[in-house]
Amino acid sequence: MKTLNLIKGGLFEPRETWSKYLDENPSWQDTAIQLTGPLLIANILLTLIFSRMAGGYVYFGYGQSFLAALVSGLVFAAIGFAVVVAVFCFLAGVFKGKADFSRAFAAASLAAIPSWVAGIVGSIVPWVGWLIALAGGILALVYMYRIIPLALGVPEDKRVVHFVASIICVVIINFIIGAALGAGSMNRGMNSGDFSRNDDAPVFGSGMLGELERQGRLMEAAQSDTYEPPEDGMLARSQVEDFASVMRKKQALEEKYAQEMKELSEELEAKEKAGTLTPSDLAKAYGGAGSALGATNADMEIVKTAGGNWAEHIWVRDQLRTAMVQQGEGSETLEHNFELYEEFQEDLGNLY
């Protein structure tokens, strides 16, 4: 009865159900027994049964025996859920909230109710069932955004940043786990830029997942670069000029991304206070997270899209940093490099 009441309340009276349950301060074990475990198992089991009865299939278990599909579905669902809880919990502490695993576990379980229920319902309906499941997933995102302040006490001014950062980390971690365990495959493609020799690779897509694939291709190409530095270790003036140009462009991109995130945060906060926040608004935040992800490798993208050598760029950075730390003292090379550092210091940015 406790499980059924939580599911019913999570669907039709979410805020009241959240507040009442979180006030009980349940341990994560209690939540796992009362809500998470039963609903997750029901989602995997019933989705498999109904989808096969209806002649369709679900993203897990296609081409497998029923038992193998059930086991693999439960394992991957449990891993994915654990990642969500751990990331939201850890980053709540980073963003001045409460890094309480049990409350994060409860929050994620309550927020996921629409998604798990919609997955079951969607498996019954042929052809358009995936739309029902998608709607449930988006609603779960909205609920997660709304429940975080109640469960983890993330301050209002950090709420959007915490949410977007958590989503990015969850996607990246699940991407890595999926690749390591062979859970799926990623199309080898990009939206723009030519960072590999595979000219026939299809485009992966847009949004955050497309940006994640783009960054992966970018890093792969950059890591393949090699550079043989001069024996005397002296920087050429042209190298420092190119490095300074990259750093100026990087700063401009970071400022642009920061402004976009600030505007998005203000827009979502205003709609939340007015009570007009919709699933499409949260979907916008999810998609816009791709910009924040791209900001992490801005200098790498600038170098590679211009046909530059990333290994040479890193060598120049290290030489300038060493010269800065030593203040040009110790050798003729350090003196020479420090003179160039001082000349371009304003444009070099952070060398750490």
User: Above 80 in pLDDT, residue 243?
Assistant: yes
Q: What is the mean pLDDT of the chain?
A: 80
In this structure, the answer to whether residues 172 and 250 fall within a common structural domain is no
The answer to whether residue 206 is domain-embedded is no
The answer to whether residue 196 is domain-embedded is no
> How large is the average pLDDT for residues 52-72?
64
What is the Cα–Cα distance from 40 to 46, expressed in whole angstroms?
A: 10
More confident residue, 89 or 286: 89
CA 128 to chain centre: 28
Residues of the chain with pLDDT > 90: what percent?
A: 38
Which band of pLDDT confidence, cut at 50, 70 and 90, is reported for residue 205? very low
Among residues 126, 155, 181, which one ends one of the domains?
181
What is the Cα–Cα distance from 247 to 323, expressed in whole angstroms?
A: 18
> How do residues 297-316 score in pLDDT, each as one tens digit?
678 889 988 899 999 999 99
Containing structural domain, residue 336 = 227-348
pLDDT at 187: 35
In this structure, the answer to whether residues 65 and 169 fall within a common structural domain is yes
Which band of pLDDT confidence, cut at 50, 70 and 90, is reported for residue 164? confident
The answer to whether residue 255 is domain-embedded is yes
Q: Which two tokens stand for residue 24?
A: 């009980």
> How do residues 217-227 score in pLDDT, each as one tens digit?
777 778 788 99
Report field, pTM of the whole predicted structure over 0.75: no
User: Above 90 in pLDDT, residue 235?
Assistant: yes
The answer to whether residue 108 is domain-embedded is yes
Lowest model confidence (mean pLDDT) among 258-262, 329-333, 343-347: 258-262
In this structure, the answer to whether residues 28 and 85 fall within a common structural domain is yes
In this structure, the answer to whether residues 87 and 145 fall within a common structural domain is yes
User: Above 80 in pLDDT, residue 92?
Assistant: yes
The answer to whether residue 169 is domain-embedded is yes
In this structure, the answer to whether residues 19 and 163 fall within a common structural domain is yes
In this structure, the answer to whether residues 320 and 233 fall within a common structural domain is yes
Residue 282 main-chain phi, psi, to 5 deg: -70, -35
Closest-CA residue to 104 (of 78, 84, 77, 74): 84
Q: Can you give the length of the chain in residues?
A: 352
In this structure, the answer to whether residues 22 and 166 fall within a common structural domain is yes
Among residues 181, 209, 243, which one ends one of the domains?
181
Domain count, the chain: 2
User: Above 90 in pLDDT, residue 237?
Assistant: yes
Lowest model confidence (mean pLDDT) among 107-111, 210-214, 266-270: 210-214
What is the Cα–Cα distance from 48 to 55, expressed in whole angstroms?
A: 11
In this structure, the answer to whether residues 308 and 171 fall within a common structural domain is no
Among residues 181, 212, 247, which one ends one of the domains?
181
Question: Cβ-count burial of 263 within 10 angstroms (0-12 exposed, 13-18 middle, 19+ buried)?
Answer: exposed
> How do residues 249-268 score in pLDDT, each as one tens digit?
988 887 887 777 677 767 76
pLDDT at 201: 36
In this structure, the answer to whether residues 239 and 124 fall within a common structural domain is no
pLDDT at 100: 95
> How large is the average pLDDT for residues 36-62?
75
More confident residue, 202 or 67: 67
The answer to whether residue 85 is domain-embedded is yes
User: Above 50 in pLDDT, residue 290?
Assistant: yes
The answer to whether residue 187 is domain-embedded is no
More confident residue, 34 or 264: 34
Q: Which two tokens stand for residue 207?
A: 């949004």
Highest averaged pLDDT of the listed ranges 114-123, 169-178, 212-221, 254-263: 114-123
In this structure, the answer to whether residues 82 and 136 fall within a common structural domain is yes
The answer to whether residue 293 is domain-embedded is yes
Which band of pLDDT confidence, cut at 50, 70 and 90, is reported for residue 291? low
More confident residue, 82 or 187: 82
What is the Cα–Cα distance from 313 to 309, expressed in whole angstroms?
A: 6
> How do residues 174-198 score in pLDDT, each as one tens digit?
777 776 665 443 333 333 344 443 4
In this structure, the answer to whether residues 22 and 134 fall within a common structural domain is yes
Which band of pLDDT confidence, cut at 50, 70 and 90, is reported for residue 3? very high
User: Above 50 in pLDDT, residue 112?
Assistant: yes
In this structure, the answer to whether residues 154 and 301 fall within a common structural domain is no
